[in-house]
Amino acid sequence: MFQYDFMINAFAAAGIVAAVSGVVGFFLVMRGQTFAGHALSHIGFAGATGAGLLGIGALWGLVGFTVAGGVVMGLLSDRIANRDVAIGVVLALALGFGLLFLHYHTSFATQATALLFGNVLAVDRGTIATLAVLAAITLAGLAAIMRPLVFMSLQPELAEARGVPLRFVSTAFLAIVALAVSQCAQIVGVLLVFTLMVGPPAAAQRLATGLWSGLALSAALALTEAWVGIALAFYTDWPVSFCIAALSALGYFAALGASGARSRTVAVD
Protein backbone atom coordinates (compact mmCIF):
# COMPACT_ATOMS: atom_id res chain seq x y z
CA MET A 1 0.00 0.00 0.00
CA PHE A 2 2.99 2.30 0.38
CA GLN A 3 3.37 2.54 -3.37
CA TYR A 4 0.60 5.15 -3.27
CA ASP A 5 1.48 8.70 -2.30
CA PHE A 6 -1.90 9.30 -0.68
CA MET A 7 -1.30 6.37 1.69
CA ILE A 8 2.11 7.70 2.67
CA ASN A 9 0.55 11.10 3.33
CA ALA A 10 -2.23 9.47 5.37
CA PHE A 11 0.24 7.61 7.58
CA ALA A 12 2.35 10.74 8.10
CA ALA A 13 -0.61 12.93 9.00
CA ALA A 14 -2.17 10.29 11.25
CA GLY A 15 1.15 9.77 13.04
CA ILE A 16 1.50 13.45 13.84
CA VAL A 17 -2.09 13.86 14.99
CA ALA A 18 -2.22 10.62 16.97
CA ALA A 19 0.90 11.44 18.98
CA VAL A 20 -0.42 14.90 19.88
CA SER A 21 -3.93 13.60 20.62
CA GLY A 22 -2.59 10.88 22.90
CA VAL A 23 -0.49 13.28 24.96
CA VAL A 24 -3.02 16.14 25.22
CA GLY A 25 -5.91 13.73 25.67
CA PHE A 26 -4.16 12.14 28.66
CA PHE A 27 -4.52 15.38 30.61
CA LEU A 28 -8.03 15.95 29.24
CA VAL A 29 -9.17 12.60 30.65
CA MET A 30 -7.24 13.09 33.89
CA ARG A 31 -9.01 16.42 34.46
CA GLY A 32 -12.45 15.02 33.59
CA GLN A 33 -12.98 17.50 30.75
CA THR A 34 -13.71 15.10 27.90
CA PHE A 35 -17.13 16.58 27.21
CA ALA A 36 -15.61 20.04 26.95
CA GLY A 37 -13.19 18.68 24.35
CA HIS A 38 -16.09 17.23 22.39
CA ALA A 39 -17.87 20.59 22.52
CA LEU A 40 -14.75 22.27 21.13
CA SER A 41 -14.87 19.98 18.10
CA HIS A 42 -18.41 21.11 17.32
CA ILE A 43 -17.41 24.72 17.77
CA GLY A 44 -14.68 24.03 15.24
CA PHE A 45 -17.24 22.69 12.77
CA ALA A 46 -19.01 26.05 12.85
CA GLY A 47 -15.69 27.79 12.30
CA ALA A 48 -14.77 25.57 9.36
CA THR A 49 -18.11 26.06 7.62
CA GLY A 50 -17.96 29.79 8.29
CA ALA A 51 -14.48 29.90 6.79
CA GLY A 52 -15.81 28.14 3.69
CA LEU A 53 -18.49 30.78 3.39
CA LEU A 54 -15.84 33.50 3.51
CA GLY A 55 -13.51 31.69 1.12
CA ILE A 56 -10.88 30.93 3.78
CA GLY A 57 -9.24 27.55 4.35
CA ALA A 58 -11.43 25.29 6.49
CA LEU A 59 -8.51 24.32 8.76
CA TRP A 60 -7.90 27.94 9.74
CA GLY A 61 -11.56 28.48 10.53
CA LEU A 62 -11.47 25.32 12.60
CA VAL A 63 -8.39 26.45 14.51
CA GLY A 64 -9.67 29.99 15.04
CA PHE A 65 -13.07 29.01 16.40
CA THR A 66 -11.82 26.18 18.62
CA VAL A 67 -9.07 28.29 20.19
CA ALA A 68 -11.53 31.14 20.80
CA GLY A 69 -14.03 28.67 22.25
CA GLY A 70 -11.35 27.12 24.45
CA VAL A 71 -10.29 30.51 25.81
CA VAL A 72 -13.90 31.48 26.60
CA MET A 73 -14.60 28.15 28.28
CA GLY A 74 -11.38 28.49 30.27
CA LEU A 75 -12.26 31.97 31.46
CA LEU A 76 -15.69 30.72 32.52
CA SER A 77 -14.38 27.47 33.98
CA ASP A 78 -15.32 28.39 37.53
CA ARG A 79 -18.90 28.91 36.43
CA ILE A 80 -19.39 25.98 34.08
CA ALA A 81 -17.14 23.34 35.66
CA ASN A 82 -18.98 20.02 35.88
CA ARG A 83 -22.09 21.57 34.28
CA ASP A 84 -22.69 19.41 31.25
CA VAL A 85 -25.94 21.22 30.45
CA ALA A 86 -24.15 24.52 29.84
CA ILE A 87 -21.52 22.86 27.66
CA GLY A 88 -24.26 20.98 25.80
CA VAL A 89 -26.04 24.23 24.98
CA VAL A 90 -22.81 25.66 23.54
CA LEU A 91 -22.32 22.48 21.56
CA ALA A 92 -25.83 22.61 20.07
CA LEU A 93 -25.49 26.32 19.27
CA ALA A 94 -22.22 25.69 17.44
CA LEU A 95 -23.81 22.97 15.32
CA GLY A 96 -26.69 25.32 14.60
CA PHE A 97 -24.32 27.98 13.29
CA GLY A 98 -22.58 25.35 11.22
CA LEU A 99 -25.86 24.42 9.55
CA LEU A 100 -26.66 28.09 9.02
CA PHE A 101 -23.35 28.66 7.25
CA LEU A 102 -23.94 25.56 5.12
CA HIS A 103 -27.35 26.93 4.16
CA TYR A 104 -25.68 29.93 2.54
CA HIS A 105 -22.77 27.99 1.08
CA THR A 106 -24.19 24.71 -0.23
CA SER A 107 -21.13 24.00 -2.39
CA PHE A 108 -19.23 23.37 0.86
CA ALA A 109 -21.42 20.34 1.66
CA THR A 110 -18.87 17.76 0.48
CA GLN A 111 -16.11 19.33 2.56
CA ALA A 112 -18.51 19.51 5.51
CA THR A 113 -19.02 15.75 5.34
CA ALA A 114 -15.24 15.28 5.44
CA LEU A 115 -15.06 17.58 8.47
CA LEU A 116 -17.77 15.64 10.29
CA PHE A 117 -16.35 12.17 9.65
CA GLY A 118 -12.75 12.80 8.57
CA ASN A 119 -10.94 12.08 5.31
CA VAL A 120 -7.32 11.31 6.05
CA LEU A 121 -6.81 9.79 2.59
CA ALA A 122 -7.23 13.24 1.04
CA VAL A 123 -4.44 14.88 3.06
CA ASP A 124 -1.72 16.48 0.96
CA ARG A 125 1.86 17.42 1.83
CA GLY A 126 0.94 21.04 2.52
CA THR A 127 -1.56 19.91 5.14
CA ILE A 128 1.03 17.60 6.67
CA ALA A 129 3.45 20.51 7.04
CA THR A 130 0.73 22.61 8.66
CA LEU A 131 -0.16 19.79 11.05
CA ALA A 132 3.49 19.41 11.98
CA VAL A 133 3.77 23.11 12.85
CA LEU A 134 0.53 23.03 14.86
CA ALA A 135 1.72 19.89 16.64
CA ALA A 136 4.99 21.57 17.62
CA ILE A 137 3.11 24.61 18.96
CA THR A 138 0.68 22.39 20.86
CA LEU A 139 3.35 20.27 22.53
CA ALA A 140 5.50 23.31 23.34
CA GLY A 141 2.54 25.02 24.98
CA LEU A 142 1.69 21.90 26.95
CA ALA A 143 5.29 21.54 28.13
CA ALA A 144 5.27 25.16 29.33
CA ILE A 145 2.29 24.63 31.65
CA MET A 146 2.74 20.94 32.49
CA ARG A 147 3.99 21.30 36.08
CA PRO A 148 1.24 23.64 37.31
CA LEU A 149 -1.32 21.72 35.23
CA VAL A 150 -0.47 18.41 36.93
CA PHE A 151 -0.39 20.09 40.34
CA MET A 152 -3.80 21.73 39.96
CA SER A 153 -5.30 18.61 38.40
CA LEU A 154 -4.31 16.36 41.31
CA GLN A 155 -4.55 18.82 44.21
CA PRO A 156 -6.52 21.93 43.14
CA GLU A 157 -7.05 23.30 46.66
CA LEU A 158 -3.37 23.04 47.56
CA ALA A 159 -2.37 24.49 44.19
CA GLU A 160 -4.60 27.49 44.76
CA ALA A 161 -3.18 27.95 48.25
CA ARG A 162 0.34 27.89 46.79
CA GLY A 163 -0.55 30.69 44.38
CA VAL A 164 -0.92 28.72 41.15
CA PRO A 165 -2.96 30.86 38.69
CA LEU A 166 -5.73 28.29 38.21
CA ARG A 167 -7.81 30.27 35.75
CA PHE A 168 -4.83 31.14 33.54
CA VAL A 169 -3.56 27.56 33.46
CA SER A 170 -7.07 26.21 32.79
CA THR A 171 -7.58 28.69 29.97
CA ALA A 172 -4.19 27.95 28.44
CA PHE A 173 -4.86 24.23 28.65
CA LEU A 174 -8.22 24.47 26.89
CA ALA A 175 -6.59 26.57 24.16
CA ILE A 176 -4.03 23.78 23.75
CA VAL A 177 -6.85 21.22 23.65
CA ALA A 178 -8.49 23.32 20.96
CA LEU A 179 -5.37 23.10 18.80
CA ALA A 180 -5.24 19.33 19.29
CA VAL A 181 -8.94 19.01 18.44
CA SER A 182 -8.40 20.98 15.24
CA GLN A 183 -5.68 18.55 14.19
CA CYS A 184 -7.62 15.46 15.25
CA ALA A 185 -10.64 16.54 13.20
CA GLN A 186 -8.52 16.33 10.06
CA ILE A 187 -8.14 12.57 10.62
CA VAL A 188 -11.36 11.27 12.20
CA GLY A 189 -13.73 14.25 11.88
CA VAL A 190 -15.30 16.45 14.51
CA LEU A 191 -17.92 13.83 15.44
CA LEU A 192 -15.27 11.24 16.31
CA VAL A 193 -12.68 13.35 18.13
CA PHE A 194 -13.21 11.11 21.17
CA THR A 195 -11.67 8.29 19.10
CA LEU A 196 -8.08 9.52 19.44
CA MET A 197 -8.33 12.06 22.26
CA VAL A 198 -10.22 9.95 24.80
CA GLY A 199 -10.01 6.24 23.94
CA PRO A 200 -6.20 5.76 24.06
CA PRO A 201 -5.65 8.08 27.08
CA ALA A 202 -8.45 6.39 29.02
CA ALA A 203 -6.95 2.98 28.26
CA ALA A 204 -3.47 4.18 29.22
CA GLN A 205 -4.68 5.47 32.57
CA ARG A 206 -6.15 2.04 33.27
CA LEU A 207 -2.84 0.33 32.61
CA ALA A 208 -0.03 2.75 33.53
CA THR A 209 0.94 3.65 37.08
CA GLY A 210 2.97 6.82 36.48
CA LEU A 211 2.60 10.08 34.62
CA TRP A 212 5.39 9.62 32.09
CA SER A 213 4.62 5.96 31.44
CA GLY A 214 0.96 6.90 31.01
CA LEU A 215 1.79 9.65 28.51
CA ALA A 216 4.05 7.33 26.52
CA LEU A 217 1.49 4.52 26.50
CA SER A 218 -1.33 6.89 25.52
CA ALA A 219 0.63 8.25 22.56
CA ALA A 220 1.70 4.74 21.54
CA LEU A 221 -1.87 3.42 21.66
CA ALA A 222 -3.19 6.37 19.64
CA LEU A 223 -0.43 5.94 17.07
CA THR A 224 -1.00 2.19 16.77
CA GLU A 225 -4.78 2.54 16.45
CA ALA A 226 -4.46 5.24 13.81
CA TRP A 227 -1.93 3.36 11.67
CA VAL A 228 -3.58 -0.05 12.01
CA GLY A 229 -6.94 1.57 11.26
CA ILE A 230 -5.63 3.07 8.03
CA ALA A 231 -4.09 -0.25 6.97
CA LEU A 232 -7.30 -2.10 7.82
CA ALA A 233 -9.34 0.39 5.80
CA PHE A 234 -7.02 -0.04 2.83
CA TYR A 235 -7.41 -3.83 2.74
CA THR A 236 -11.13 -3.99 3.61
CA ASP A 237 -12.45 -0.83 1.90
CA TRP A 238 -14.14 0.17 5.15
CA PRO A 239 -14.18 3.86 6.22
CA VAL A 240 -10.94 4.87 7.92
CA SER A 241 -12.71 6.68 10.75
CA PHE A 242 -14.78 3.59 11.54
CA CYS A 243 -11.69 1.38 11.69
CA ILE A 244 -9.87 3.77 14.02
CA ALA A 245 -12.97 4.20 16.20
CA ALA A 246 -13.49 0.44 16.46
CA LEU A 247 -9.85 -0.15 17.43
CA SER A 248 -10.04 2.66 20.00
CA ALA A 249 -13.10 1.09 21.61
CA LEU A 250 -11.54 -2.38 21.58
CA GLY A 251 -8.37 -1.01 23.13
CA TYR A 252 -10.29 0.66 25.94
CA PHE A 253 -12.42 -2.39 26.70
CA ALA A 254 -9.30 -4.59 26.69
CA ALA A 255 -7.60 -2.20 29.13
CA LEU A 256 -10.74 -2.17 31.27
CA GLY A 257 -10.73 -5.96 31.42
CA ALA A 258 -7.00 -6.12 32.15
CA SER A 259 -7.20 -3.58 34.96
CA GLY A 260 -10.22 -5.38 36.44
CA ALA A 261 -8.40 -8.72 36.37
CA ARG A 262 -5.33 -7.12 37.98
CA SER A 263 -7.48 -5.61 40.73
CA ARG A 264 -9.07 -8.99 41.50
CA THR A 265 -5.66 -10.64 41.61
CA VAL A 266 -4.36 -8.04 44.08
CA ALA A 267 -7.47 -8.44 46.21
CA VAL A 268 -7.03 -12.22 46.37
CA ASP A 269 -3.34 -11.91 47.25
Q: Mean pLDDT across the stretch 193-204? A: 90
At 19-65, the pLDDT tens digits run 999 999 999 999 888 887 878 888 888 888 888 777 777 778 888 88
pLDDT at position 266: 47
For residue 219, is pLDDT > 80?
yes
What is the architecture of the domain spanning 5-196?
Orthogonal Bundle (1.10)
Check residues 114 and 171 and name the one with the higher pLDDT. 171
Q: In the prediction, which pLDDT does 107 show?
A: 60
Q: pLDDT of 178-192, one tens digit each?
A: 999 888 887 887 777
Segment 78-133, tens digit of pLDDT: 544 445 666 767 777 777 887 788 777 666 656 666 677 777 888 889 989 999 99
Q: Does 55 or 231 have the greater pLDDT score?
A: 231
| pTM, to two decimals | 0.86
pLDDT > 90: what percent of the chain? 40
209 pLDDT tier (thresholds 50, 70, 90): confident
Confidence of residue 163 (pLDDT cuts 50, 70, 90): confident
Residue range 177-206: average pLDDT? 87
The more confidently predicted of residues 131 and 156 is 131
Q: What is the pLDDT, as a whole number, of residue 143?
A: 95
- Please spell the DSSP secondary structure of the chain, one letter per residue: -TTSHHHHHHHHHHHHHHHHHHHHHHHHHHTT-HHHHHHHHHHHHHHHHHHHHHT--HHHHHHHHHHHHHHHHHHTHHHHTT-HHHHHHHHHHHHHHHHHHHHT-GGGHHHHHHHHH--GGG--HHHHHHHHHHHHHHHHHHHHHHHHHHHHHH-HHHHHHTT--HHHHHHHHHHHHHHHHHHHHHHH-GGGTHHHHTHHHHHHHHH--SHHHHHHHHHHHHHHHHHHHHHHHHHH---HHHHHHHHHHHHHHHHHHHHHHHHHHHHH-
The whole-number pLDDT of residue 110 equals 62
Q: Rounded mean pLDDT of 223-250?
A: 93
Q: Per mean pLDDT, which of 181-185, 209-213, 219-223 is the most reliable?
A: 219-223
- pLDDT score for 122: 82
